[in-house]
Amino acid sequence: MAELNAEENELLVLKNKLIQQLNFIYKDVDQTIDYEELSDQLIKLMRLDENCYTPIAYQNHWSQKDVIMITYGDSLLKPDEKPLETLKHFLDNHIGDSINSVHILPFFPYSSDDGFSVIDYSSVNESLGGWDEIQSIAKDRRLMSDLVINHCSSRSAWFDNFIKGEGIGYDFFYTASPDDDLSDVVRPRTSDLLRETDTGKGTQHVWCTFSHDQVDFDFRNPEVLKSFVSIIRLYLDMGVKILRFDAVAFLWKKLNSSSINLPETHEVVRLLRTLLEHAVSDAVIITETNIPNTQNLTYFGNANEAHAIYNFSLPPLLINSLVTGNCLYLKRWLMSMPPSQNGTFYFNFIASHDGIGLRPAEGLLNDYELNSLVEAMQEFGGKVSWRTTETGEPKPYEINIALYDALQGTTKGRDSLGLQRFICAHAIMFGLEGIPGVYIHSLLGTQNDYEKVANTQQNRSINRHRWEYQELQSKLADSENHHAVVLSSLKGLLDIRIKQPAFHPNATQFTLHLGLQMFGFWRQSQDRKQSIFCISNITDHEMELAIHDLNLIMTDNWIELISGIELDMQQEMITLAPYQTVWISNVFHK
C-alpha cells in the first residue's frame, strides 16, 4: 500500500474529524446518512481537495492594531453614487489608519429587519452596489460579514419552493404542530412562534424564532448544512475574513426543549470552524449570542468553536456605571470574566445596530438596577422592546437608544457632561481585553432618529440613521460641531491604542480596587515589557487618585498616554475631572 503524502494525510485527518462531528450532530436524526460521503461533499464544497491549510492550534490572528467599525451598507448616502462607494470614501478620507476592519451589516437582498431577513445569500443588494464594491473595501480593510444562519426571508426562492413542495429548499424549514408542547422554548420575541402556511402538501406550521417573515431553517436536513458551507466559501472568495454567525444560539430545534444552546448547535459551529480554518488560515468566526453571560461564554468551546464572542454584558453594565456613578456591578463582572486563551478573543462593543440588550445583564444587575436603567434611558428618549418569559410575563429585552443620547445625563437627569461621559465610555472599552467594535453612529455622535422610528414603526430604527454624506461632511468640517469633536476624540484614542502592545486582545488584564466611583484595570503586554493602568472617574465630580494605590515601580518613568504628560512621581495625588480617563504606562509607543 502506497504511503500517503503530507497533503493526503491532512485530508484524511480532516475527513475523520468531520465524520465524528457529523455523527454527533445527526446520530439521533437519521440513521441512513452516509457520514463518509457527506464529509467528502463538504470538503469539495469548501474546495479543500484543491487547497487545504493545516491550522495551528491556539494561534492569534489579531493584535492591538485591530479595531472594527460596524455599519450598514447605506448608513451614508450621496446622490448618484452607490452607498458602498460612499462608505469606502468615508473610510479612506475620515477614518484612515485608525480602524483597520469594517463590519458591513447584511448587504444582501432582504425583505425586513434591515437586512436580517435574507432573500438571496449569493448576491449583493443592488441598491448598495455589487460584489466589486465589497471586494474593493475588502482589499484595504479586514471585512466582517454576517452569516444569517438561523433563518431566511419568507420571500426567498427556498421558501417559495417549500410552499410549492418541490425544488431546492422544499425541505429546508423547521415545522411543528400547534398541538406540540412548546412551553419550554426560549426566544426574544412576543409574536407567535409558529406561522401557519398553506403549501402543496397541505397546511404546515413553520417555526419562526423572530418574526413571521423570518422562517427558521431545519438543520436536521444535511442539505441545509451543505448550502451554508457553499455560502461560506462564496464569502471567503469575495474577501470576507470575519464571519458573524447571526442568532446562532437558536439554530438547532428540538421539541420538549428550550431550543437554545443545544449540543447540536455547538457542534455545528465546531464543524464549520473545522472547515473554515482549513480553507483560510486567518479567517475568524464570531458568534452573535445575545444571551446570559455564562451561556455566552460556552461558545468559545475549548478554543475550537468561535474564535470570538460578543461581550454582550459590557453595554448595559458600562452604561449603568456611568449613569449611576457606581461601578460595583461592572467591576464584579470584570473580575469574574475568564481570560480569553490564545486563539480566542472577546469582541467588545457598547453600541450597535441593535439596542442595549438586557438579557446579558440578568444575574449581573438586580431587578431594581435594571428597572432604574430602563427608566433613565426612557428619560433620555429611548424605547423599550419586550420579550415573553417562560411564565408568559412580558419583560424588557432591549433598550433602543442612540448611545450619544443614552449618556446625556445620569439617574439624576440630564446635565452638561454628556460629551465627556460618552468619550469616557469609549476610553474604557478601548482599553479592555479584546478587540473593540465601534458603531459608525458612535463615531459620529449620531442622536436618536425619531423620524425613522415613526416611518418604520420599529424601535430599533432609533439608532439606524442614514446620513446625507454632504451634510455629514459639512458638520465634520466644523471643528466645534459635536459630531466632529466626537470623531476626532475617538480617533485620537484609537491612534494611541493601536500602538500599545499592552492593549493586545490577549494581553494580561487585572481589575483594580479603587473604590466604586473610580473604575480601573491593569494591562500588561505579552512580553511583559509594557504596563498600562487604565483608570476612569465615572462620576460627575472631580476625584483624587492616590498614586501609591497603583503600586507603580518607582524606578520607571511613567507617562499618561492620552495627554502625553510624564507623571511627577513625587506628587501624591492625581486629580481626575468628571469622566476623565487616564492610561498610565511605563512605555509610550508613538
Whether the Cβ atoms of residue 401 and residue 382 lie closer than 8 Å to each other: yes
**Cell 460556552, residue?**
298
The confidence band for 392, taking pLDDT boundaries of 50, 70 and 90, is confident
Q: Exposed (0-12), middle (13-18) or buried (19+): which is 451, by Cβ within 10 Å?
A: exposed
Single-letter amino acid code for the residue at 189? R
Average pLDDT for 341-364? 93
Query: How confident is the model at residue 469, as a pLDDT?
Result: 98
Please report, as a single letter, which amino acid is at residue 223: E
Mean pLDDT of 218-237: 98
Residue-level pLDDT at 586: 93
In this structure, of 235-244, 369-378, 418-427, the range with the lowest mean pLDDT score is 369-378
What is the helix (H) or strand (E) element at residue 523, kind and residue range?
strand 518-524
Residue 236, pLDDT score? 98
Q: What's residue 2's pLDDT?
A: 52
Residue with cell string 444582501? 108
| pLDDT for residue 539 is more than 50 | yes
From 66, 113, 218, 246, active-site residue: 246
In the predicted structure, residue 520 carries a pLDDT above the cut 80: yes
Cα separation of 351 and 204, whole Å?
Answer: 39
Residue 306 grid coordinates? 468561535
* pLDDT tens-digit map of 126-178: 999 999 999 999 999 999 999 999 999 999 999 999 999 999 999 999 999 99
Residue 405 has pLDDT above 70, yes or no: yes
Q: Are 67 and 91 in contact (CB under 8 A)?
A: no
> Is 180 noted as a catalytic residue in this protein?
no
Place of cell 495551528: 56
In whole numbers, what is the pLDDT of the chain averaged over residues? 95
CA distance 498 to 489: 15
C-alpha cell at 269: 459551529
Residue 412 has pLDDT above 90, yes or no: yes
Q: pLDDT confidence of 382, banded at 50, 70, 90?
A: very high
Give the residue carrying C-alpha cell 428540538.
254
On the question of pLDDT at 589 being above 90, the answer is: no
- Round to whole Å and give the CA distance between 243 and 268: 14
Which one, of 413, 328, 323, lies nearest residue 373 by Cα? 323
pLDDT at 352 over 50: yes
**CA dist list (Å): 302 to 259, 295, 312, 330, 343:** 22, 14, 20, 26, 10
Q: Which conformational region is residue 8 in: left (phi greater than 0), alpha (psi within -120 to 50 degrees), or beta?
A: alpha
Kindly list the structural domains of the chain, giving each domain's residue range(s) and its CATH number in brackets, ordered by start: 508-585 (2.60.40.1180)
- pLDDT for res 518: 98
Residue 472's pLDDT is what? Answer: 98
Say if residues 145 and 121 touch (Cβ distance below 8 Å).
Answer: no
Question: Which of 417-431, 444-458, 546-560 has the weakest average pLDDT?
Answer: 546-560
pLDDT digits (tens, 9 = 90+) for 180-226: 999 999 988 888 999 999 999 899 999 999 999 999 999 999 999 99
Interaxial angle between packed helices 482-497 and 469-476, expressed in degrees from 0 to 180 and rounded to the nearest 10: 80
Q: What is the pLDDT of residue 549?
A: 84
Averaged pLDDT for residues 318-324: 98
Band (506; pLDDT cuts 50, 70, 90):
very high
Q: How confident is the model at residue 110 (pLDDT cuts 50, 70, 90)?
A: very high
The residue-averaged pLDDT of 30-34 equals 91
What pLDDT does 397 receive?
Answer: 86
Q: Which of 4-8, 351-355, 369-373 has the lowest mean pLDDT?
A: 4-8
DSSP string, 144-155: EEEEE-SEEETT
| d(C-alpha 91, C-alpha 133), whole Å | 13
Closest CA to 319 of 277, 357, 269: 357
User: How high is the pLDDT of residue 1?
Assistant: 42
From CA 328, how far away is CA 117, in angstroms rounded? 39
Q: For residues 105 and 84, is the Cβ–Cβ distance under 8 A?
A: no
pLDDT exceeding 70 applies to what percent of the chain?
99
Name the band, by pLDDT with cuts 50, 70 and 90, for residue 588.
confident
Angle at 496 between CA 495 and CA 501, to 5 degrees: 115
**Exposure string (b/e) for 484-503, b if CB count within 10 Å is 16 or more?**
bbbbebbbebbebbbebbbb
| DSSP annotation of 539 | S
Q: What is d(CA 262, CA 252) in angstroms, rounded to the nearest whole number?
A: 6
Closest Cα to residue 531, out of 495, 507, 513? 507
**Alpha-carbon distances of 86 from 68, 75, 77, 353, 537, rounded to whole Å:** 18, 9, 7, 19, 38
Residue pair 389/419 in contact (Cβ under 8 Å)? The answer is no
Mean pLDDT (whole number) for 456-468: 95
Indicate the DSSP class of residue 462.
Answer: G
Please compute the mean of the pLDDT values over residues 20-40 and round it to a whole number.
95
DSSP 335-349: HHSPPPPTT-EEEE-
Cell of residue 225, nine digits: 448544512
Q: Are 109 and 100 in contact (CB under 8 A)?
A: no
**Burial of residue 246 (number of CB atoms within 10 Å: 0-12, 13-18, 19+):** buried
Give the CA distances from residue 90 to residues 74, 82, 85, 402, in Å, rounded to whole numbers and listed in that order: 12, 13, 9, 21
C-alpha cell at 461: 430604527
Cell numbers standing for residue 29: 436524526
